[in-house]
Homo-oligomer: A and B are copies of this chain.
Amino acid sequence: MIKAAIMGYGTVGAGVYEAVVTNQKVIAAEIGEALEVKRILDLRKFPGDPAEQLITDKFSDIEEDEEISLVVETMGGTTPAYEFVKAALLKGKHVVTSNKALVAAHGTELLQIARDKKVNFFFEAAVGGGIPVIRTLGTGYQGQVITEITGILNGTTNYILTRMDREGAEFGDVLADAQRLGYAERNPEADIEGHDTCRKIAILSSLVTGKEVNFEDVYTEGISKIDSTDFRYALELKASIKLVGAAQFAGNQVTVSVFPLLVSDENPLYAVQGVYNGIVIKGNLLGTTMLYGSGAGKLPTASAVLADMMEAAKHKNENVRFGWTAEKQAVTSHESEKHRYFVRLSGDAASLAAAKEQFEAERVIQLPGLEEVAIVSAPMTEFTYRERAAKVPNILAMIRAELSER
């Protein structure tokens, strides 16, 4: 019998409890013994809840309980999650978390403590919700040199962008509606400004390099400036606009950034709609693969936590090789990243002429009823783009576009 505790009885925590109860037979058959939740830490009471009797508001009830060998952290944020997780690991308990903020800020240290204590610190649910992207990176592509990850990693922004695409609606209106429907938080900044995606792509990049990629080194641009006109152009280009976390790995040259990207309908990310996530992974042998699924939600996220709990249960007395070391992975300047650029300009002839020349325009798009024009540039670095953009008057907006030819 493995006894576990859950810290934080919100949506994900309650999902984990439900998952462990619902699938108890499968779980016991697979790990060879029963898995039971003994304690749940939450400051609130839950009268009438099936788990009511397990609730405690004292972390010491978990920390000091030697029967509890596995702790799930689903509180979110770093305070007090960091303190509690660290203490649990130091007590020799396995920890599984769904908390990307915690992993991005303190993962390196917590992974090291887990190694020292011969336990495990797992966080499948921190990236891609129910998509087993972290375990797949670890065991699915063994021996592979991963060259690129481009992921739609945030369901809220993908939901907003999908509705803007389908309905021709404006960002602000869809955001307000998403907030009303509970798909976006009242304070949506972490999602719409790309901070959530930033932490997730930093975690994936750290896993690929085996070194710490600091999320603060990741260039991050959100979606709040995208408007319905951008989507009109996207339609004309047989493309859509997605917020992506993108990382490229070429030996020690590593670029990681977050930005809205025009993706053509031949890119598998194009078909990732609504609250779904999709993560394209390229390797030097395997070519292009994509993992697709629910990036959030109570049970999908809980299912990722459960898979980690079982992995820990199967390796009770062993630290599974996983994660990254304290060594810092330098992130190459955003300026050296290469893209095409979709650039909107005011309609005057001088602006278009300058843009055509400076950006070596491969396409010029003029839509009916608009007093503006847009171009798609040749591939060039961010540095070159910025230098040349200074010479083009009246640029209205710029969105990066994928490099592939149409």
The answer to whether B30 and A310 touch across the interface, beta carbons within 8 angstroms, is no
Chain A positions 249-306 with a Cβ under 8 Å from a chain B Cβ? 266, 268, 270-271, 273, 283-294, 297, 299-300, 302-304, 306
Chain A positions 32-63 with a Cβ under 8 Å from a chain B Cβ? none
Range, interface on chain A: 35 or more
A144 interface residue, CB < 8 Å from B? yes
Chain A positions 4-48 with a Cβ under 8 Å from a chain B Cβ? 19, 22-23, 26-27, 30
Copies in the complex: 2
The residues of B that contact A310 with a CB separation of less than 8 Å are 142-143
A19 CA / B283 CA spacing, docked (Å): 12
In the complex, identify which listed stretch (A103-111, A130-138, A220-228) lies at the interface while the others stay far away: A130-138
Q: Chain B CB within 10 Å — which of A268, A288, A304 has the most?
A: A268
Chain A positions 51-92 with a Cβ under 8 Å from a chain B Cβ? none
Task: Report the nearest B residue to A267, measured CB to CB.
Answer: B271
Assuming A290-B293, A292-B292, is B271 touching A285 (CB within 8 A)? no
The residues of B that contact A297 with a CB separation of less than 8 Å are 287
Task: Report the nearest B residue to A299, measured CB to CB.
Answer: B285
Task: Report the nearest B residue to A28, measured CB to CB.
Answer: B143
A144 CA / B293 CA spacing, docked (Å): 15
The answer to whether B287 and A299 touch across the interface, beta carbons within 8 angstroms, is yes
Given A30-B142, A143-B303, 5 new contacts (CB under 8 A):
A26-B144, A268-B292, A285-B300, A286-B294, A289-B291
8 inter-chain pairs at a CB distance below 8 angstroms, sorted by A residue, are A23-B285, A27-B143, A135-B139, A140-B140, A143-B306, A268-B292, A289-B291, A289-B292
- Interface pairs A-B: 3 shortest CB-CB: A132-B140, A289-B293, A271-B271
Residues of A participating in the B interface, judged by any CB pair closer than 8 Å: 19, 22-23, 26-27, 30, 130-132, 135-136, 139-145, 266, 268, 270-271, 273, 283-294, 297, 299-300, 302-304, 306-307, 309-311
